[in-house]
Structure 1
């Protein structure tokens, strides 16, 4: 009986209060899960305002010591030798959030060798906020530059094979469209934030459309990261069939209806940065 109690205590210490995120040996996940925002154990109940320049230096392949030097210790309890670090970050965002502050959770996942491999954001306040917000302090920008916000809309039918969402199933035109987008991003002298929104049409169930739109947004994010875009500044969100840009009558044949709804199947990429 005593051995069972000791074993239970050891297991409890090792597991901590993990989020339950299932992490692959490569340090990725299909479904990041999050702590209750207020359950921080470091800087109790409040989180921190991160150094923006340090946050912008995070890269895949960093060790825990390197991350610690840049953004400090994790702020939630994930047990002993965790493969995820979780933070609660606040950003000064004039005109946005509560009292001009946007609050986000930030998650780092590690591979089996404890190298950082993937990064995730979760908006807390406002709940529909974009995380991360602008990461470069406006005071640092050269006078010769100006803030630029650009929106790029890519048709999902041109990007992906029917009902597909992974990079391996990109259409040839989809790869060309993404390479053109990367060329446009190259015109920015500084990239602050890239927000990728995936949309579907109204056909199919709500849960299916939500997952498909999220998977497609995630794939576009991965494509950009593979081409050298800093993953820290890229956020991907599935919107399902929300905000349709066209409406179609139900008395159409299925083929006609699918064709009519094509503009709703899209990926929107919002880019914030400095451009000459």
Structure 2
């Protein structure tokens, strides 16, 4: 007997109390007739997996801008490009739910661990998105104090596998320093280095830190007060694009290029 038929049988044969008890496990991923579909954030109607069952239990440092682009109608390929592969062994083809664990910034360098679920319709298009905790959804709301982010391509700033600014890179940083001076009053600057996923985690982390420190020093040389700036590296943990393959081919390097970058986040009153 199919599971849905079993649920209907329970409804017909059981009493009211027994029926309600039995139907708690009969919620399906779709909805028919006059049923009201679950709304995003309605935790009572969504079952999340145990975080310990994830293949990446610690989760990932997802790009917030990518999360803000999530909407109904996205294909699995589009979703994969925004968020990466799901963090549980659910499969990629034919499944109706993808589950993630994300580390979301709460400010002042702190992060919150959040579980996120995407449900797909019969055409395998994103239909509903849910957070396990409503407080996680609130972290996606733009804040008035949210810094202005300016992104510089690492391929433009540096030679391959180097943390030394190229001639073009020096000019790009000088132009950025002028923009900061012209557009902000007493700015506070955070320089964040990023790499792609090629190479070891430890190497990429160290390279991202060196590159961020180099850009910070160049900004100081171009008139930005050193006491107003900080730098840090996050290695490969915050990609903005996801590409198939593990071998370091020219095609894969080109696909991963947006991930090799330095973000300069500027807070302060605009002129």
Structure-1-length-normalised TM-score:
0.45
Structure-2-length-normalised TM-score:
0.46
The structure number with the bigger radius of gyration is 2
